[in-house]
Amino acid sequence: MSHLYLLGVATLTLTSASFAGTDTNADLQARLEAAEARINELSAATNNNWLNDTRADEIRGLVHDVLADADTRASLQGSAIPAGYNGGFTIGSADGNWSMKINGLLQTRWVYLDDDDPARDSAWGFDTNRAHMTFSGTIAGDYGYSIRHNLTNSGAGSEEEWAYGTVGLGDGWTLAMGDLVLATNRAAQIDDGYLMTLDRAEGDAWARATGTGISLNYESDDIRAWVQVVNNNDGAVGPANADATQFNGRVEFMVDGNWGQFDQIHSNVGDADGTVVGLTYWTADSGDGAATNDGDTRWTADALMQWGGTSLYVGWSDFSDDSTSTGDTSGFQAVFSMDLEDNWEVYGRYADQDDNTGATTLDGEVLSVGVNNYWAGQNAKWTIQVDWDNEHAANDFDTTTVSTQLQFMF
């Protein structure tokens, strides 16, 4: 309004001056020009202030929109999402009801084999023995899952090794259903990345077995148990395999220690002492089919002892073939390890399997010695192992195997 006021003043001044005569024309002209200059100056300042206010309003609106969008995204994702590494890469909801843990393992090795059989040449080569990914976690708080993809199976690319869901029943009881790992012995239940030796001992008694079915599990402070029923004939179903099942039951008693320490045989200097003993009964029923393992049974007893830097695992197994006594076998193994500190460890294993035929390569003794160097615990490990296999086959030829392996696990 100030420029309109000045304009009015200038107009009145000019009108009054017209009665004063021509002598004042020059003075009036100068005053008019000065008034017009002031009016232009005030008008420009007013326009600039208006422009600044408009820009400020626009910026405030933009900031408000960005903050509102951020709040919307946070409400969709949940607040304070936990993510990081804890025994695997993890992500989940803030309340812990939904989670996923991702684990991976790579074991690659170089192997040299020396066979005493003159008909067979010595050989060496590289091998990726194991490579797999595991996804596990919780669903809606009360449910769980575990899925493993084996990446090393030839021809099939990625193949499921196990996949099952779990339901917590309370009071230490859990129900699992799907493709399961059978609780046949403690060595078979120790995961691949935590093995003391490069592989599990030879023979069906010590191999990791899986099956499609159901498992009722129990755990208390000093007792664990598994009752498992799975399909027979490698999971096949249908009229030819109706009611064909395998039953596996195992119980473990913890004399001392905590359950977590028995997920590996390895024991560091200074670790807590612990002892666990287990007993397993397994049997197969072919049902309406013609499976040859109808009525076969196996008993297994084992124990794992750890003494803060040394460990000993011993296991015994007896298999009874219902079809013929010549199929009966028994097996024994013992694994001893000693922590040398500075991330070095030495170990030895003796494994023996006897059958009644005397003409199978599984009937024999295998002695293994090795050393582990833990670069980053079990997550990065270097192993060298030598095996002497005394085969009691028809020609009784021995083999010596030298292996070195790198393990990377997360």
In terms of C-beta density within 10 A (0-12 exposed, 13-18 middle, 19 or more buried), how is residue 287 classed? Answer: middle
Tens-binned pLDDT, residue by residue, of the chain (410 aa): 444 444 444 444 444 444 444 555 677 777 777 777 777 776 666 565 555 666 677 777 777 777 777 665 555 455 567 889 989 999 999 888 999 999 999 999 999 998 877 777 789 999 999 999 999 999 998 899 999 999 986 554 558 899 999 999 999 999 999 999 999 999 999 999 999 999 999 887 899 999 999 999 999 999 999 999 998 765 555 555 567 889 999 999 999 999 999 999 999 999 999 999 999 999 988 766 555 556 789 999 999 999 999 999 999 999 988 776 667 889 999 999 999 999 999 999 999 988 765 544 456 789 999 999 999 999 999 999 999 988 645 456 788 999 999 999 99
CA distance 126 to 315: 31
Using alpha carbons only, give the angle 131, 224, 247 rounded to the nearest 5 degrees.
75
Cβ neighbours around 94 below 10 Å, total:
11
**Residue 47: enclosing H or E segment and its boundaries?**
helix 25-77
Using alpha carbons only, give the angle 244, 249, 315 rounded to the nearest 5 degrees.
115
CA distance 44 to 49: 9
For 134, the token pair is: 């595991």
Global pTM value: 0.76
